[in-house]
Structure 1
Amino acid sequence: MADSDRHREKRADPDALLALAGKQERGRLTVFLGAAPGVGKTYAMLSRARRVKEDGGDILIGLVETHGRSETAALLEGLEVLPRRSIPYRGRAIEEFDIDAALARHPHTIVVDELAHTNAPESRHPKRYQDIDELLAAGINVWTALNIQHLESLSDVVAQITGVPVREQIPDTVLKKADEVLLVDLPPAELLERLKEGKVYLPANAARAADSFFRLGNLTALRDLALRRTADRVDDQMVDYLKQNAIEGPWPSAERLLVCIGPDALSEKVVRIASRLASGLNAHWIVASIEPVDRAVADQAGERRLDDTFRLAERLGAETRRVKGSDFVEEILRLARREHATQIVIGGRRLSFPWRLFRRSLPDALMEKASGIGVYVVTGDDTMPPPTTPVRQRPLMLRLAREVGVALATVAAATGFGLAIGEWVRLPNISIVYLLAVLVSAISSGYLAAIVAALGSAVAYNFFFIPPFYTLTIAEPHEVFALFVFLAAAMLTGGLTSRLREQAKVSGERSVTTQTLYDYSRKLSGTAKQDDVVWATVSQLQGALSRTVALLLPDQGELRLQASWPPDTELGVSDMAAARWTYEKSEEAGSGTGTLPNSAFRFIPLMSPHGVVGVCGIQQDGELLEGTEERMLNAILDQSAVAIDRARLSKESLRQAAALEGERFRSALLASVSHDLKTPLATITGAITSLRQLGDRMNRQSRDDLLASIDEESARLSRFLANLLDMTRIESGSVEAKRDWVDVVDVINSTVERCRKVFPDRAIEVQLAPDLPLIRGDSVLLGQVLFNLIDNADKYGGAEPIRIYARRDGDELALSVVDMGKGIPEKELEQVFEKFFRRGKPDGRAPGTGLGLPIARGFVEAMGGTIKAESPAQKRKGTRMILRFPIEDMPVEAETIS
């Protein structure tokens, strides 16, 4: 047992091995990290590139910014430099990195400077690190340079240290995914000396930089951040190596952070600090928001801020959660225990003195109940923006004024009603009228209106209905007690009523969403065709989001617009480029994303278990979807993807079934042709060989028998080939029956005479009703049908005669061919009309070709008639083939001819 335990402990970590396998499919990213501009990152990259070039390596300079430094520019000599792409912007040309040319060149290693650079507006990606990620995905190794202040989690710290806001930012995950981080370090004093000598910036810019950013304290602090972050990255690489090679620890403790945020402005700071804390602890972290279950979303600006904070957390490498709950403390602790969090990070502001008397802050409540879990509180500062923007303040004040106005109006109405009633009847419980006013205020306007109405009711009740009247003085002690009881009851009742109102509102909104999704699910469940699914999707999305929607599906290898709403929507060149990117890469593109953001549409891949089945475009024009709209969109697209995939698989299944049927048809055709051709050919060949070799020595009777067999087998072969041609004509739809007037009696008689010559040993009886009418049809096709039916009866009809009947049956002419053979089982009555369906004879002789009856049905239907088989026919045996043709009124000319 001990040996097995030791063996398990030394086994490599599977997650680490999977991560390593994933990296092997991509190019390697090497980041030259510096504390500030001018430390020599680009110089170090080019020096290393020259050494690789001298060793015969394949290295390409994709883009390098020399900033006028002659030493750096000199290193470019002799290296292959990729030409830049010129992008017109506001009347001038901007030189940018040409990612398409780099992918086409596909070098082993490429140097792309300035990782945090923002591309020109018409570029495929808004940021250069996204260009580099595409190069890595293509298997190209990339060298790049980065200054520490551009990391998104450190941007606020750097701005606080230097006083200069950082405009260019990249997610911390870019650095975490780097395979190699090389620190390019230079002491601050030496960097300042280089700045004075003009080796960092041109003289005009150097003086301005020295006065703002390049100060000794700033450079020292930035150097400390760069050293710490590089050390953290080295620690991560060492831990990964130990796990991949099953080398025993000591391992660091597995810290897990739970970060709680809300719609306030402090949440962004909380996320940034939590990112730095998680990076320092090498910890997994989750960002969660607890949303009340009984509150409707009233502050749209706060909801947008919350969505932005979630997106920031995802860029910094966190997982995100949205949790519904009424008790914030319990929900946070429950989530922390479920996720095995060791620390909770939360933002908080110190409550002012009056509020501290009535309630505790959320951090205080967490610290009281969070047993065994650390609580890290992030406080705000004076520089934090206000909770609401000035644009939102005016509507908020109007809403508050409305609620107060409603409350005062209901109190005034209750007072007037009480005074009017008092003129007629003296009511000892007039306070009930004010309680009604509180309920009306709570239902119509909410909790604030209920509180105002309760306070106003207490004052009005005291002033008008408690002696001494028309003063706020209370004479009797029990009146004081009654007033306070009334006030407490009014506030409690108003609060409960207001909460029920909010819950009803939220329930109504959720029921609408649920009903919408339910109706859509039912609509999809009854939809089998892909076109119906597509139109149902675009109409549902347009109705739910009130935005232009486009749905694109692959068609013969090319992505095409299948449906849109409004139907006249057209996609431009940039829109189609973003849509194709989404389909090929299975990533979002277009407006609001990191790829081709200039498109007016945001394109989302429709993912199914079998991959991307299509692309959905939602027109945004810079206006992002709300959180509820985003969740509605995801739910509809998930269902649509499954429905489209189901329709595609159903179509593919039909195609496969048709292919299998075609294969079965070909196999049956080959088997039938090989047999039915070999048999008569073998007979003919044998007879001819015998005549050649023994012709002079054979008597006349023998020679006549051989010639008769040649004639018979030739006729049989001719009929078989004719059947094949007829079947081909029927399946191709090229059978065109004539619409002449046909005398059925003549066709029957001529066909019977032909059959008696072909089947001389078969007795055929004909019974025709007198005065049979003419029918519209083709006499040749009808004769062939009768011949095939008689031929089939000859094979399966036994020794008794074949009988042919014809009579008038109402508005139809019924013609039947009856044999007295064994008959056909009921389950095979319809199968006999299928191609190559054959039944063996009792004596073991081969059956027919299996084409006679299918040809008969094809010809009859071409003439507008029907054919079916009945068995037994007479005396519990035999088969009856019944043909029915409609009888039309015959014109005078036809009657004269007949």
Structure 2
Amino acid sequence: MPADQRDDPLRADPDALLALAEKDRRGKLTIFLGAAPGVGKTYSMLSRAQRLKRDGADIVVGLVETHGRDETSSLLDGLEVLARLRMPYHGRTLEEFDLDAALARHPQVLIVDELAHSNPDGLRHPKRFQDIEELLAAGIDVWTALNIQHLESLSDLVAQITGVTVRERVPDIVLKRADEVLLVDLSPAELISRLNEGKIYLPENARHAVERFFRLGNLTALRELALRRAADRVDDQMVDYLRQNAIEGPWATGERLLVCIGPDALSEKVIRVASRLAAGLNAPWTVASIARADRETIDENSLRRIDDLFRLAARLGAETKHVAGNDFVAEILQLARREHATQIVIGAQKRAWFHHPLRSGLADALTREASAIGLYLVMPDGRPQRPAPPVRLRPRFSTFAKSLGAAFLFVTPATALGVVIDRYTELPNISLVFLLAVLGAAAYAGFAAALLAALLSALTYNFFFIPPLYTFTIASPHEVFALCVFVAAAVLAGSLASRIRDQARSARRRAAAVQALYDFSRKLTGTANSDDVLWACVTQLHASIRRNVVLLMPRGTELEMVAAWPPDTELGVGELAAARWANEHKEAAGAGTGTLPTCGFQFRPLTSPHGSVGVCGYEFGQDGLDSGSERMLAAILDQAATAIDRARLTSESAKHAARQESERYREALLSSISHDLRTPLATITGAVTSLREYGERMPPESRDDLLQSIEEEGARLSRFVANLLDMTRIATGTLVASRDWVDVADVIRTSVARARRYFPAQPFSTSVGPDLPVIRGDAILLGQVLFNLLDNAAKYGAGEAVDVDAQQNGREVTISVTDRGRGIPTEDLDRIFEKFYRRSNSDGRAPGTGLGLSIARGFVEAMGGHIHAESPAANRLGTRIVMRFPAGDAAARKEER
């Protein structure tokens, strides 16, 4: 896009127009937002529904909770109410919203109360807002109600204000995507008055509510949150309108947040605070987790914690990124510049009184290094906490035993070598032998082994080589200094060696993953068959994530399991329903998602630039996949979708090419038929017309010429029709050649005589070898082949003689027809046997139908022979068509007689 168009303030924002077009294809979501229960959200919703019903709109109540309020229940009169879905749950019967009944009814407007409600197990979605999302995708307008404390980003703030933890939450993105947000407001004093009058809860429940939640300060704070969020939504709608209509106005400030998190307990608060900050600034935001690149393994609990935090961030509307690096400050600043972030949000622990003055934290380092980027620090609640380490620092006993064993394994031979060296010679730097042991332990088992090896080497060196010997006493001060320097050097060298080892292993692991993806990509590149692609995908996925894997492809209106590994993997009814959902809605479904989470598999759509090409499912297990397996799965699925789409396009291209070739044959056949039928028919029609009008007045010679023309053109039409019939018999496979003994010489004489009658001006010569053996074949078909070859030779031979030769060559009989025309280019020698292929003769025209040589090849092969063309034939001119047949056995012929 040119810069002048991109920066034109009078040009509508393309993203805004695309978002508007997307909304036009979906239903409209209207949310009645309130600060607390009892403000009148359901009452306002039903009052509006009654007005719309009087105007003739198709409006249906899917589910409404009246909570026993008579004035609210009275508003249901005259409205169509869907029957609730009754289902057993822990010994009692629940009445829930019937999503399938609502989809089948498909009204213009549907009322579904309690947006934050959680569905019981067994329903398609665990949350009601997911039911509403499916209704909107089906094109149904939905009205619903929501209290401000149920927003995901405000749950911690609400808990801090009211002291009540809200468990039913709705992602902020649901409110952000709503087409209309109507604020239902009521002053806190009036709300408490309604509560005391029993208009919200029963008297006993109302008393508890006033004591805990419905306090004046709580309601005032919740009302402020609701008003602020409604104002933010109005501002978003204004900005959208300005962008869609290319109007200069209060555009967004262009802020962008980068949020850095880790597996510590503070990160959840960091994400929620960043979400509120982004909503207030109307800014996009990215959540990033940075891990050490040289770390070989990361604690599974930390990985699971990061995954949970990323899911929370995604629900709140953020993008998520994994970053690997050793210098956290440099990586954060580089990511901030790449993402064009204007503010960085991080968590900062409160410093304890014993904080080391020379040791700075991440916040201090970013404060020194960041320039032109704002830094927002989120502090923890309560007393100072030590951050949870991202990696388990206390090794298990088995790891400690391995490190101790490695230390002894390397220090013991180093000690023995030092003793031997000390016995035969005196070296002042014998401690270098132990330094090698420390390096070897570090390279073999890591930093813990290096540390233990350094301590063990210090003790051993002191015991065997520092006077007084065989004690742990050090007599000389310089020996103490030397020992300390040795221990420091050993620990430093071991640390460096351990880090190099970890980096090497990490690089090998990444190289192995890249190599696996590269090999998989090469395998897919060399595979054009869709079945081979599918089986390559499931085997690669099974080997990468160590889970059962299935691939399903659409077959008509249903999904069919086309590949699975292990091959005996089966899917139940719930799994198939989740797979269909993933394919239809192009989003993940099944275990670990919000759609049918009770089934054992998670299904993900395989999407390509041309749409969904299938669904991949994998066994979810207890905790799903770790981050490494997740990235490998995503990479393989992307490649698989591209390969499957390519295989499909290749198949469609082959079918298209076949249709084009068929169309070319059809056009050539119609063109040939129209020309070759029109010419003889015109001659016959003209001759008959002349005979009828002038026959009695014409001389006898003229009448004989016209009758001869009729006879010749009739024979020409007969040959043409016979060629078409012969070609049809060859193409349909109904041609059956007899296997009689054929005298080749007799067939040649008959065919040449026939050709001379048709081409009296064309000279023909024959040469038949002596004692030419008979062949097995069909004399009629062989005669037809020879006549077609003589016909072609006469057309393209430029009036020169045509030679027919038959000889015996070993166990074969060779028959050839040679003309002396212009010949055939080498690249066209095989094409002349194709249907409808014709060469131009000396005058530039292409005579004939292009069927003669194709029919000849079909007849010859039906008789068990072979035919080919040679050009030039003689003196750099002409064409020779050669046929070879197995020679017959005279003894066998006599026995048959």
TM-score normalised to the size of structure 2?
Answer: 0.92
- Separation in 1 of the partners of 2:889 and 2:584? 65
Separation of aligned partners in 1, 2:703 and 2:190: 120
Q: 2:80 aligns to what SS in structure 1?
A: coil
Q: Shift in Å at residue 606 of structure 1?
A: 2.3
Is the 8 Å Cα contact of residues 261 and 288 (structure 1) preserved in structure 2? Answer: yes
Q: 1:63, 1:81 within 8 Å by CA — same for their partners in 2?
A: yes
**Preserved contact between residue 797 and residue 821 of structure 1 (Cα < 8 Å):** yes
* Cα distance in 1 between the residues matched to 2:88 and 2:721: 72
Question: Structure 1, residues 38-71: CA drift from partner, whole Å, max 9, x if none?
Answer: 2221111011110111122222222212233332
Q: Which residue of 2 aligns with 1:521?
A: 521
Q: Which amino acid aligns with 2:448?
A: L
Change (3 A) 1:801 1:365: closer
Match of 2:233 in 1: 233
Q: 1:864 to 1:165 in 2, by over 3 A?
A: farther
Look up the match of 2:850: 850
Structure 1 gap ranges (5+): none
Structure 2 unmatched ranges of 5 or more:
none
CA distance, structure 1, for counterparts of residue 765 and residue 316 of structure 2: 94
Alignment of 1:70-219 (within 5 A): 70-87=70-87, 94-202=94-202, 206=206, 209-210=209-210, 212-219=212-219
- Deviation of 1:185 after TM superposition, in Å, equals 2.4
Structure 1 residue 208, shift from structure 2 partner: 5.4
**Deviation string, structure 1 residues 123-147 (Cα, Å, up to 9, x no partner):** 3333221222233233332211111
Q: How far apart, in 1, do the equivalents of 2:243 and 2:839 lie?
A: 70
**C-alpha contact 1:153 1:172 (8 A) present in aligned 2:** yes
- Asked whether the 8 Å contact 2:350–2:380 carries over to 1, the reply is no
Indicate the SS of the match to 1:824.
Answer: coil
Q: Which residue of 1 aligns with 2:454?
A: 454
Cα distance in 2 for partners of 1:823, 1:832 equals 12
2:360 aligned partner: 360
Contact 1:296–1:502 (CA<8 Å) still a contact in 2? yes
Distance in 2, Cα, partners of 1:26 & 1:386: 49
Structure 2 residue matching 1:835: 3-state secondary structure:
coil
Verify the 8 A CA contact 1:680 1:714 in the aligned structure 2. Answer: yes
Structure 1 stretch displaced more, 589-598 or 289-298: 589-598
Following superposition of structure 1 onto structure 2, how do residues 577-588 of structure 1 map, counting pairs within 5 Å?
577-588=577-588
The 1:404/1:37 distance shift into structure 2, 3 A limit, reads: farther
After superposing the two structures, state which structure 1 stretch, 408-417 or 177-186, moved more. Answer: 408-417
Distance in 2 separating the partners of 1:776 and 1:166: 94
1:276 matched to which residue of 2? 276
Change (3 A) 1:497 1:897: closer
SS of corresponding position for 2:81: coil
Shift of 1:854: 0.9
Relative to 1, partners in 2 of residues 1:843 and 1:288: Cα closer, same or farther, differing over 3 Å?
closer
Query: Residue 287 of structure 1 aligns to which amino acid in structure 2?
Result: V
Q: Contact 2:351–2:384 at 8 Å: present in 1 too?
A: no
Write the deviation string for residues 92-147 of structure 1: whole angstroms up to 9, x where unpaired: 65433333443343333221111112234333333221222233233332211111
Equivalent residue for 1:59? 59
Displacement of 1:366 in angstroms is: 1.6
Q: How far did residue 766 of structure 1 move? A: 2.7
Per the alignment, residue 755 of structure 1 pairs with 755
Which residue in the other structure is 1:620 paired with?
620
State how far apart, in whole Å, the 1-side matches of 2:349 and 2:621 are: 36
Please state whether the residue corresponding to 1:736 is helix, strand or coil.
coil
Report the CA distance between 1:678 and its aligned residue.
1.4
Identify the range of structure 1 (517-526 vs 671-680) with the bigger mean alpha-carbon deviation: 517-526
Q: Is the 8 A contact 1:32 1:182 kept in 2?
A: yes
8 A Cα contact 1:132 1:142, kept in partner: yes
On the 8 A contact 2:349/2:385 being kept in 1, the answer is no
Alignment correspondent of 2:332: 332
Matched residue type, 1:123: L
Say if 1:286 and 1:321, in contact at 8 Å, map to a contact too: yes
- The answer to whether the Cα contact below 8 Å between 1:592 and 1:622 also exists between their aligned partners in 2 is no
Where does residue 836 of structure 1 map in the other structure? 836
Give 2:519's aligned amino acid.
D
Q: CA deviation at 1:704?
A: 3.0
Say yes or no: does 1:824 pair with 2:857: no
Distance change in 2, residues 1:469/1:870 (3 Å) = closer
- Alignment-mate amino acid for residue 895 of structure 1: K
User: 2: distance between equivalents of 1:244 and 1:897?
Assistant: 94
Match of 2:689 in 1: 689
| CA apart distance, 1:745 | 2.8
Equivalent residues of 2:42, 2:72 under 8 A apart: yes
CA–CA distance in structure 2, aligned partners of residues 856 and 278 of structure 1:
80
Distance 1:672 1:92 in 2: 82
Aligned pair in 2 of structure 1 residues 250, 850: CA closer, same or farther (>3 Å)? closer
**Distance 1:556-1:251 versus aligned 2 partners, 3 A rule:** closer
Using the alignment, how far apart are the partners of 1:155 and 1:736 within structure 2? 85
Q: What is residue 307 of structure 1 aligned with on the other side?
A: 307
**Partner in structure 1 of residue 222 of structure 2:** 222
Query: Does the CA contact (< 8 Å) of 1:301 and 1:388 recur in 2?
Result: no
Query: Which stretch shows the higher mean deviation, 208-217 or 285-294?
Result: 208-217
> Residues of 1 paired with 2:329 and 2:257: CA distance?
16
* C-alpha distance 715-239 of structure 1, shift in aligned 2 (>3 A): closer
- In the alignment, is the contact (CA less than 8 A) between 1:256 and 1:285 conserved in 2? yes
The amino acid that maps onto 1:76 is L
In the superposition, relative to structure 1, how do residues 398 and 150 fare at CA in structure 2: closer, same or farther (>3 Å)? farther
Structure 1 pair 725/34, CA: closer, same or farther in 2 (3 Å)? same
1:500-649 pair list within 5 angstroms: 500-556=500-556, 558-649=558-649
Amino acid at match of 2:263: P
Q: Structure 1's 862 and 126: CA in aligned 2 closer, same or farther, altered over 3 A?
A: farther
Residue 327 of structure 1: how far off its partner (Å): 0.8
Amino acid at match of 1:51: R
Paired amino acid for 2:786: L
Q: Secondary structure of 1:75's partner? A: helix
Q: State which drifts further: 512-521 or 157-166.
A: 157-166
How many angstroms apart in 1 are the aligned matches of 2:222 and 2:213?
11
For 1:486 and 1:729, locate their aligned partners in 2 and report how far apart those are by CA, in whole Å.
96
Aligned equivalents of 2:604, 2:53: Cα separation in 1: 42
Give the TM-score taking structure 1 as reference length.
0.92
How far apart, CA to CA, are the structure 1 residues paired with 2:846 and 2:467?
A: 120
Question: SS where residue 76 of structure 2 aligns?
Answer: coil
Q: C-alpha displacement at 1:556, in angstroms?
A: 4.9
Q: Distance in 2 between matches of 1:500 and 1:469?
A: 36
Return the offset for 1:420: 7.5
Is residue 838–residue 846 contact of structure 2 (8 Å, CA) maintained in 1?
Answer: no
Q: Deviations over 1:399-444 (max 9, x none)?
A: 3465356547765775677567767766543433432342233223
Change beyond 3 A, Cα 1:739–1:543: farther
Report matched runs for 1:16-55 at 5 Å.
Answer: 16-55=16-55
Q: What is the DSSP-based 3-state SS (H/G/I as helix, E as strand, rest coil) of the residue aligned with 1:571?
A: coil
Report percent identity of matched pairs: 63
Q: CA RMSD in A?
A: 3.2
Residue pairs, 1:454-473, within 5 angstroms: 454-462=454-462, 465-469=465-469
Residue 673 (structure 1) shift: 0.7
Conserved 8 A contact 2:346-2:376? yes
Conservation of the 8 A alpha-carbon contact between 2:129 and 2:170: yes
Measure how far apart 1:25 and its partner are. Answer: 3.5
> What secondary structure sits across from 2:294 in the alignment?
coil
Aligned twin of 1:895:
894
Q: Distance in 1 between matches of 2:682 and 2:507?
A: 85
Q: Any conservation in 1 of the 2:349–2:384 contact (CA below 8 Å)?
A: no
Q: 1: distance between equivalents of 2:764 and 2:251?
A: 99
AA partner of residue 159 (structure 1): A
Compute the displacement of 1:503 (Å): 0.8
Task: State the Cα distance separating 1:498 from its structure 2 match.
Answer: 1.1
- Does the C-alpha gap of structure 1 residues 86 and 708 become closer, same or farther in structure 2, counting only changes over 3 Å? farther
Deviation at 1:228, TM superposition (A): 2.5
Letter paired with 2:467: P
